[in-house]
Amino acid sequence: MANDKPARRPKAETPKGFRDYFGAEVTERKAMLDAIAGVYHRYGFDPLETSAVETVEALGKFLPDVDRPNEGVFAWQEDEADWLALRYDLTAPLARVAAQYRNDLPSPYRRYAMGPVWRNEKPGPGRFRQFYQCDADTVGSGSVAADAEICAMLADALETVGIPRGDYVVKVNNRKVLNGVMEVAGLAGDDKDAERGIVLRAIDKIDRLGPEGVRALLGEGRKDESGDFTKGAGLNEAQAAVVMGFTNAKRDSGAETVARLHELVGRSVIGAEGVDELEQIASLLAAQGYGPDRIVIDPGVVRGLGYYTGPVYEAELTFQITDEKGRPRNFGSVAGGGRYDGLVKRFTGQDVPATGVSIGVDRLLAALRAKGRTQGESEGPVVVTVMDRDRMADYMAMVGELRQAGIRAEVYLGNPKNFGNQLKYADKRQSPIAVIQGGNEAAEGKVILKDLILGAKIAESATLEEWKDRPAQVLVDRADLVAEVRKMLEK
């Protein structure tokens, strides 16, 4: 009986949280990544492409969302063997590569990587489970010159893709300074790990929660708008004051900020080391001409990831956009990174210092669109229409000539019976020109070129004087097809 049921058709759907990218969406992203790769290349970084699949063991658990340490990856078990997973970022695979090829790679090893990563998270609006990252890292250098270099490269990359100077700022901080502040606040011991984690994540959210929200999380905790309560770090008044002092330590000049940080870290050795490193980074950048109009010391930046050990940095776009509620707000962060000296050591047991940045590809693309810096539409093809089904060879010869001349062109390949459908197709393809040749034109050795862009303009405003001298359609010699099409395209 069951066999008599017609087979159920499969659903034509992307899995939840995944999406497809069409046409200009693909080419825009590619153009942006190519431009960034050019900058990375000039800085001496080499490309690395690892596979999407890693062993779960090699990946480790370094997802940003430490509140849910057991979730986040797509994983499956090989037949009674290893567990495999899709990479959730490009840093974990780099750490594996740096360990696996440590005898062959140059040291320090500068590499960049671009590609999709996967997160097994609950999808939401604009939140997908596959997205692009674009990373650059230097493995094997403990020098803060490596951190400074990445900050400079990030500034160059942003300007190269079309974010003008003044519309972005790269903010630099140092986890060691924060650790010094923690010491001063009495949060230094191993037994204070949980409290330090809460403090770190609270500071990281200051842009969203405001100082009051952060202060609440430093103390007893905070109830959010939905009524959910997040437990706080339980600091007393004096401890919280030290930490809050850190969050607003930024002054008008780098030197003043450094002086303020020196006060805050008091006699903490690690704290003083962190402040010194910040000073060095600022002076190395100044020597290359990267002043505070592009890169600033900002204690407000801590980055959420637990594995950072030294300098951390973040690129923020400072121009305003209108949010979904119509309010103006700063565009915000599009890239971030920092120094992580422990990831390679997981594999080798030896200290291998590393630092690197990850650009949020989709956010940066959205920023470029907001600034009108990308071409939203791709160039449509010239469409050679089919008036006479039996003369397909003639139409293919035309399209062949156009393509050989480097002009994007198509012959209509649908059912040619209804000519209106062919023009609708050309419209959907954003075609600039339709080429038409019926029997009469063929007999006379002619073709008709229909200017579809002009046609659309005339349709919009038929009375405009400006179009009167420009015909929307011309009859030209078949032999001049390429030259006449080119002329019309250049108008």
- Within positions 281 to 320, which residues make up the interface with a copy of itself, using CB under 8 A? 283-284, 286-289
Binding-residue total with a copy of itself (CB under 8 A):
95
Task: Determine the distance from the C-alpha atom of residue 59 to the mean position of all C-alpha atoms in its chain, rounded to a whole number.
Answer: 22
Three-state secondary structure call for residue 190: helix
Of 266, 259, 250, 269, which is closest to residue 316 (Cα–Cα)? 250
224 part of the interface to a copy of itself, by CB under 8 A: no
Return the residues of window 352-381 that contact a copy of itself according to CB under 8 A: 378, 381
* Residue nearer to a copy of itself on the CB measure, 307 or 425: 425
Among 192, 408, 478, 486, binds a copy of itself (CB under 8 A): 408
Distance CA 410, CA 407 (A): 10
Look at the alpha carbons of 158, 162, 163, 166 in this order and tell me if their dihedral is positive or negative. positive
* Residue nearer to a copy of itself on the CB measure, 75 or 321: 75
Among 66, 75, 442, 474, binds a copy of itself (CB under 8 A): 75
90 part of the interface to a copy of itself, by CB under 8 A: no
* Residue nearer to a copy of itself on the CB measure, 118 or 331: 118
Query: b/e map of 145-183 (b: 16 or more CB within 10 Å)?
Result: ebbbbbbbbbbbbbeebbbeeebbbbbbbbbbbbbbbbb
Among 48, 182, 297, 334, binds a copy of itself (CB under 8 A): 48
Return the residues of window 92-121 that contact a copy of itself according to CB under 8 A: 96-97, 99-101, 106-108, 110, 116, 118
Among 66, 370, 397, 474, binds a copy of itself (CB under 8 A): 397
Among 20, 191, 228, 466, binds a copy of itself (CB under 8 A): 20
Structure tokens at 17: 């949280």
- Which range, of 9-17, 205-213, 220-228, 483-491, touches a copy of itself by CB under 8 A? 9-17
Query: 394 forms bridges with which residues in the sheet?
Result: none
Return the residues of window 427-456 that contact a copy of itself according to CB under 8 A: 428-429
* Residue nearer to a copy of itself on the CB measure, 9 or 267: 9
* Residue nearer to a copy of itself on the CB measure, 1 or 81: 81
Query: 447 forms bridges with which residues in the sheet?
Result: 476
Identity of residue 253? S
478 part of the interface to a copy of itself, by CB under 8 A: no
Cis omega (within 30 of 0) on the bond before 108?
Answer: yes
Among 89, 135, 137, 149, binds a copy of itself (CB under 8 A): 149
164 part of the interface to a copy of itself, by CB under 8 A: no
- Which range, of 37-45, 158-166, 225-233, 474-482, touches a copy of itself by CB under 8 A? 37-45
Helix (H) / strand (E) element for 374: namely none
How far lies 129's CA from each of 43, 60, 67, 73, in Å? 31, 19, 18, 10
Of 339, 364, 369, 338, which is closest to residue 168 (Cα–Cα)? 364
Q: How far is the CB of 288 from a copy of itself (least distance, A)?
A: 4
58 part of the interface to a copy of itself, by CB under 8 A: yes
Return the residues of window 231-270 that contact a copy of itself according to CB under 8 A: none
Residue with tokens 């919009």: 460
55 part of the interface to a copy of itself, by CB under 8 A: yes
Contact 388, 439 (CB under 8 A): yes
Q: Is 68 exposed, middle or buried (0-12, 13-18, 19+ CB in 10 A)?
A: exposed
- Which range, of 44-52, 294-302, 319-327, 362-370, touches a copy of itself by CB under 8 A? 44-52
Structure tokens at 282: 């600022």
Among 126, 227, 328, 406, binds a copy of itself (CB under 8 A): 406
469 part of the interface to a copy of itself, by CB under 8 A: no
- Which range, of 10-18, 164-172, 212-220, 433-441, touches a copy of itself by CB under 8 A? 10-18
Contact 308, 353 (CB under 8 A): no
Among 89, 90, 91, 129, binds a copy of itself (CB under 8 A): 129
Total residue length of the chain: 491
230 part of the interface to a copy of itself, by CB under 8 A: no
Residue with tokens 């399209």: 399
26 part of the interface to a copy of itself, by CB under 8 A: yes
Q: Is 4 exposed, middle or buried (0-12, 13-18, 19+ CB in 10 A)?
A: exposed
Among 134, 151, 152, 161, binds a copy of itself (CB under 8 A): 152
DSSP calls for 389-405: GGGHHHHHHHHHHHHHT
Distance CA 160, CA 363 (A): 16
Q: How far is the CB of 58 from a copy of itself (least distance, A)?
A: 5
Q: How far is the CB of 114 from a copy of itself (least distance, A)?
A: 9
